[in-house]
Amino acid sequence: MKQVLLTFAAVSAFGLLACGEGSSDDLLPGAGRGYDNSTQQTAGGNEGNTFNHSNDPAGASDGPLPDPQQRGRETAAAGGAVASARMHACGKLSLRGMRSLLVTRGTAQNTQNLVTNQANASALGAANYGGRIPEAPFASTSSLGKAFDIYATASTDIIATAWAPTACPGVKLTEAGKFTKDAVSCLIGKPARPEHMALADDLVAQAATPAEGQRIAVAALLAAAHTCE
């Protein structure tokens, strides 16, 4: 045991010596010179020794910096700083949350099981406990497509006459052929605005049949409201 410890100590010492002053690496700029271990040096560097890369996402050469006032107007037009932050940090609804949504919005058992069956759960980014892989925090193209498929299936249950969501007891989906505000609020999880109501009714009006339009509208509302966490 003592011999093993001494061997480990010797290897560690050689490693430290190799990383200290006097070592060189042909892959580094200025090969042949030792590393500077001076505590007076900074990691940031300066214009003379730091690579100047383009900030343009397209990789184009540096141009004039964007106008801060114009960027501010664009952010305001998109809904303000909060909306902009949400668009750039959109966490995926967890599988548990998605199933809970379907349960409380009055869908059938078979529809709820679509979230947890093996093939769909994998596409939705479920955790792989055997491989020590956690559930995906963000949506992929396949998970977004699969989620919309499930919402489209759920819409069949929701437009049924016997629809009875436990989250919103006593709420009716439509009255006189129009979506009710309470029903749309129940589906999206927040008070419905006039824009939500107009969009839902417009989708019904453009469909081949009212039932088909209601399915499309319900699926669109669920997907739009629950794509992000």
More confident of the two residues 14 and 154: 154
More confident of the two residues 192 and 54: 192
Does pLDDT of 150 surpass 90? yes
- For the segment 176-194, the average pLDDT, to the nearest whole number, is 95
User: Where do the domains of the chain lie?
Assistant: 95-226
Can you tell me the distance from the alpha carbon of 176 to that of 178, in angstroms, rounded to the nearest whole number? 6
What integer pLDDT is reported at residue 49 of this predicted model? 54
HSE-up (13 A, CA, CB side) for residue 63:
7
Least confident of 4-18, 33-47, 94-108, 112-126: 4-18
Can you tell me the distance from the alpha carbon of 35 to that of 22, in angstroms, rounded to the nearest whole number? 7
Can you tell me the distance from the alpha carbon of 97 to that of 100, in angstroms, rounded to the nearest whole number? 5
Supply φ then ψ for residue 91, to 5 degrees.
-80, 140
Q: What percent of the chain has pLDDT over 90?
A: 50
Residue with token string 């107007």: 73
Cα angle 111, 113, 118 (rounded to 5 degrees) comes to 130
Would you say the pTM of this structure is higher than 0.85?
no
